Amino acid sequence: MATVKAVMGNLTVAERQVLTAVNSGASSLSFVGSGFIVLCYFLFKQLRKFSFKLVFYLALSDMCCSFFSIIGDPSKGFFCYAQGYTTHFFCLASFLWTTTIAFTLHRTVVRHKTDVEDLEPMFHLYVWGTSGVMTVIRSIANNHEHLSRLGTWCWAQTGHTGKVVHFITFYAPLWGAILFNGVTYFQVIRMLNNATRMAVGMSERSYQPDPRSDMKALNRWGYYPLILIGSWFFGTINRIHDVIEPGHKIFWLSVLDVGMAQLMGLFNSIAYGLNSSVRRAIYERLDLLPEWSQRWLPKSSKSRGQQQDSELVSLKIQDQQ
Q: Which of 45-49, 81-85, 191-195 has the highest mean pLDDT?
A: 45-49
pLDDT for 124 equals 97
The CA dihedral of 133, 134, 140, 144, to the nearest 10 degrees, is: -110
pLDDT for 315 equals 38
In degrees and rounded to multiples of 5, residue 27 shows phi and psi of: -65, -35
Query: The dihedral of CA 52, 56, 311, 185: what is its sign?
Result: negative
Mean pLDDT of the chain: 76
Per-residue HEC secondary structure of 36-74 comes to: HHHHHHHHCHHHCCHHHHHHHHHHHHHHHHHHHHHHCCC
pLDDT for 309 equals 41
Whether residue 40 contacts residue 104, with contact meaning beta carbons closer than 8 Å, is answered with no
Q: Which of 147-156, 195-204, 232-241 has the highest mean pLDDT?
A: 232-241
Task: Record the pTM.
Answer: 0.80
**Could you give the CA distance from residue 57 to residue 300 in angstroms, rounded to a whole number?**
31
Whether residue 97 contacts residue 181, with contact meaning beta carbons closer than 8 Å, is answered with no
**DSSP codes, 200-249:** HHH--SS----HHHHHHHHHHHHHHHHHHHHHHHHHHHHHHHHHHSTT--
Residue 126 scores a pLDDT above 60: yes
Q: Which of 177-191, 216-230, 292-306 has the highest mean pLDDT?
A: 177-191
Residue 164 scores a pLDDT above 90: no
List Cα–Cα distances, 166 to 142, 146, 153, 265, in angstroms.
Answer: 9, 19, 18, 21
**From the centroid of its chain, how far is CA 250?**
26
Query: The dihedral of CA 6, 8, 10, 11: what is its sign?
Result: positive
List Cα–Cα distances, 184 to 117, 222, 264, in angstroms.
Answer: 19, 10, 20
The average pLDDT across 66-86 equals 71
Burial of 7 (0-12, 13-18, 19+ CB in 10 A): buried
List Cα–Cα distances, 158 to 150, 162, 166, 233, in angstroms.
Answer: 18, 5, 9, 21
Whether residue 31 contacts residue 70, with contact meaning beta carbons closer than 8 Å, is answered with yes
Q: What pLDDT band is residue 8 in, cutting at 50, 70 and 90?
A: low
pLDDT for 318 equals 38
The average pLDDT across 294-316 equals 45
* Residue 305 or residue 87, greater confidence: 87
The average pLDDT across 253-260 equals 91
Residue 173 scores a pLDDT above 90: yes
List Cα–Cα distances, 29 to 20, 66, 67, 82, 267, in angstroms.
Answer: 14, 9, 10, 22, 10
Between 30-34, 42-46, 75-79, 196-200, the lowest mean confidence (pLDDT) is in 75-79
pLDDT for 77 equals 58
Residue 127 scores a pLDDT above 90: yes
pLDDT for 321 equals 39
Query: The dihedral of CA 10, 62, 215, 110: what is its sign?
Result: positive
In degrees and rounded to multiples of 5, residue 12 shows phi and psi of: -75, 170
Residue 93 scores a pLDDT above 90: yes
Residue 285 scores a pLDDT above 80: no
